[in-house]
Structure 1
Amino acid sequence: MTMPKDDTETVRALRGLENSNPSVRLRAALAVGTAPDPRFIDALVERCAIEPEFSVREMLTWALTRHPPALTVPKLVDELGSERTQARSQALHTLSKIGDRRAWPAITPALLTDADDEVARSAWRAAVALVPDGDEPTLVRVLSTQLGRGGRETQLSLSRALVALGEVIMPTLHAATTDLDPRVRRHAIATEQLLRNPDAGFEFAIEEAKRIVALGTAGQEG
């Protein structure tokens, strides 16, 4: 008995997603996204959790965005409870790209403060993309607890997330400029600077923040 053509192509694509060659996996993800089929969703989500190549992960995310959110969002939300950090991080990243606010309740404080920097950074981006109108102040309060966290890339991610929320962040940031931890003060001041002058860039903002903290003039700014 001959297998129907569409079934043959489905099997070929699913095998391609598991191929040891990243170029083959990339082409398979592209093919799945080009011709969306609900039968691929589970395989795409599972592959996101373990795929080592960044370019392939991005293509997997794109392929998922090509499928109906009603089918993909619940699967991705389930991944947020995974013990695998990449599963959580990639699911958050994909949810931010889909932009369906039905996923908002799943963006919990636990994810926004996840011990893994990549998960937390993905959660910040997803939260900013999905936060409903009126919930921004609550989000800002949670995000502000992460000021001073990590290295440059992590701090830049948090600053970008906060700046994307706009002027609503200013009271919380201003309060953080008097925090006892100098790392928190510097990060808060740098984020304020970035909001006021986004063209200056984060490096300038952080250096200016260091100068302000060193001079002890944070409370006089603004």
Structure 2
Amino acid sequence: MLIGDVARHSGVSARMLRHYDALGLVRPTGRTVGGYREYSAEDVRRIFHVESLRSLGLSLKQIGRALEDPAFTPSALVSDLIRWTEDRLEREAELLERLRTIDASAPTGWQDVLRMVELMQGLSSTSAARRQQAVLARPEGMTVPAELLAGAVLAESDPNVAGALRWALARSGGDGVATLAAGARSEDVDVRRRAVLAIAGMRAAPDATAVLADALGDPDATVRRHAALALGRRGVTAAVPALVGLVVEGSSDVDAAEVLGTLSQDPGCADRIMTALVGELAAPAADSATRIRLTQALIELSGTAAQGVLRQLAHDEDRAVALVASYFIGVLDARSPEDRGDED
């Protein structure tokens, strides 16, 4: 077959066939009387072999070696091709994500695009100071996709930068909860902690409560603590056992007691909280320090029931507990009836 016929049947352009010939990769077996290239059936098969190897990403030089050198083994080369392809796909995925982020910012002009690129570069800097500056110094009115900030929060290890990112995320106008929810399910405990702490600051996000509720069952105590405090501040009474547990453990016990005090303003929840605290006070395993923390938590509760328990504790066998309870009774007695939460 002449070169034109080969090009039509193989799909390889005549120009590329001439290039193959010049490289010695596929040389036609013969020539016509007029000097035109004439390809045999074996030549055409070789062309298809070349195209097949090209489809795997081999260079023409590598293809030549593969077809000519009997000692050329494919295993090492295929392994290299896999690694190069994986690297290329990773770079392209990163590019795609950047493009989607820019698109989500709804740019109105190239200046907006350049600002967003500058922000993304700043957030990916190895310098914590530059990352923080990128968050805090962005132009007023610049729309930053919440998902970008949420992703940065999950990856940020510097506490100062993380704080700035959570602040920006809470004010971004979007929720970013989908990204944070995925982080809350991560196998990396640090990522889960960052996710729950960020969600805790997003009071307006509609789906945040469900993610925090799931986090109450996390195996990590820090994740559970962040979730319990955030849920309690949202008025979710399901967090009461976890909050009482924080008082018992002495982990953020002051914050937990304050949240329990707020929840106790609901009469239905007040009895539940009181029962839980009194139960822990009477627990055989409760040491003096634990009972003192529980006594201190009682002062935060509304109503007269807590005051009655404090008056009983003023005569407790544990001298330290009795002194703490007596002090708080004096504080309560000095307050006005409204401040004490006395009932009519």
| Superposition TM-score, scaled by structure 2 size | 0.48
Pairing of 1:104-143 with structure 2 (within 5 A): 104-108=209-213, 111-112=215-216, 114-131=218-235, 135-136=236-237, 138-143=238-243
Partner of 1:177: 281
Q: Does 1:43 align with 2:148?
A: yes
Q: Is the 8 A contact 2:199 2:208 kept in 1?
A: yes
Q: Is the 8 A contact 2:151 2:179 kept in 1?
A: no
CA distance in structure 2 between the partners assigned to 1:36 and 1:164 by the alignment: 36
Displacement of 1:217: 7.2
Aligned residue-pair number: 195
Deviates more, 1:96-105 or 1:4-13: 96-105
* SS of corresponding position for 1:98: coil
Match 1:87 to one of 191, 198, 203: 191
Q: What whole-Å deviation, never above 9, does each CA across 1:114-146 have from its counterpart, x for those lacking one?
A: 443432231122112333xxx42x321343344
Higher helix share: 1
* SS of corresponding position for 2:176: helix
Give the partner amino acid of 2:167: W
Q: Does 1:22 align with 2:128?
A: yes
Task: Identify the structure with bigger relative contact order (alpha carbons < 8 Å, sequence gap 6+).
Answer: 1
CA distance in structure 1 between the partners assigned to 2:318 and 2:300 by the alignment: 19
Match 1:67 to one of 160, 166, 172: 172
Give the partner amino acid of 2:208: A
Displacement of 1:52: 2.3
Match 1:148 to one of 231, 235, 248: 248
Displacement of 1:37: 2.3
CA distance in structure 2 between the partners assigned to 1:162 and 1:127 by the alignment: 11
Partner of 2:72: none
CA distance in structure 2 between the partners assigned to 1:161 and 1:121 by the alignment: 12
CA distance in structure 1 between the partners assigned to 2:321 and 2:132 by the alignment: 52
| Superposition TM-score, scaled by structure 1 size | 0.71
For the structure 1 residues 118 and 145, does the alpha-carbon distance in structure 2 shift closer, same or farther, using more than 3 Å as the test? closer
Q: Is the 8 A contact 2:155 2:191 kept in 1?
A: yes
Give the partner amino acid of 1:129: R
For the structure 1 residues 79 and 22, does the alpha-carbon distance in structure 2 shift closer, same or farther, using more than 3 Å as the test? same
Partner of 1:159: 257
Partner of 2:202: 98
Deviates more, 1:179-188 or 1:9-18: 179-188
* SS of corresponding position for 1:148: helix
Q: Is the 8 A contact 1:185 1:213 kept in 2?
A: no
Unmatched runs of 5 consecutive residues or more in structure 2: 1-108, 303-312, 330-344
Q: Which has the larger radius of gyration?
A: 2
CA distance in structure 2 between the partners assigned to 1:43 and 1:11 by the alignment: 12
Deviates more, 1:19-28 or 1:79-88: 79-88
Unmatched runs of 5 consecutive residues or more in structure 1: 197-208
Displacement of 1:113: 5.2
Q: What whole-Å deviation, never above 9, does each CA across 1:51-96 have from its counterpart, x for those lacking one?
A: 2222211110111112234x42232223221222332223222222
What is the percentage of aligned positions where both structures have the same residue?
21
Q: What whole-Å deviation, never above 9, does each CA across 1:162-209 have from its counterpart, x for those lacking one?
A: 23323522232122211122145343223113547xxxxxxxxxxxx9
Partner of 1:200: none
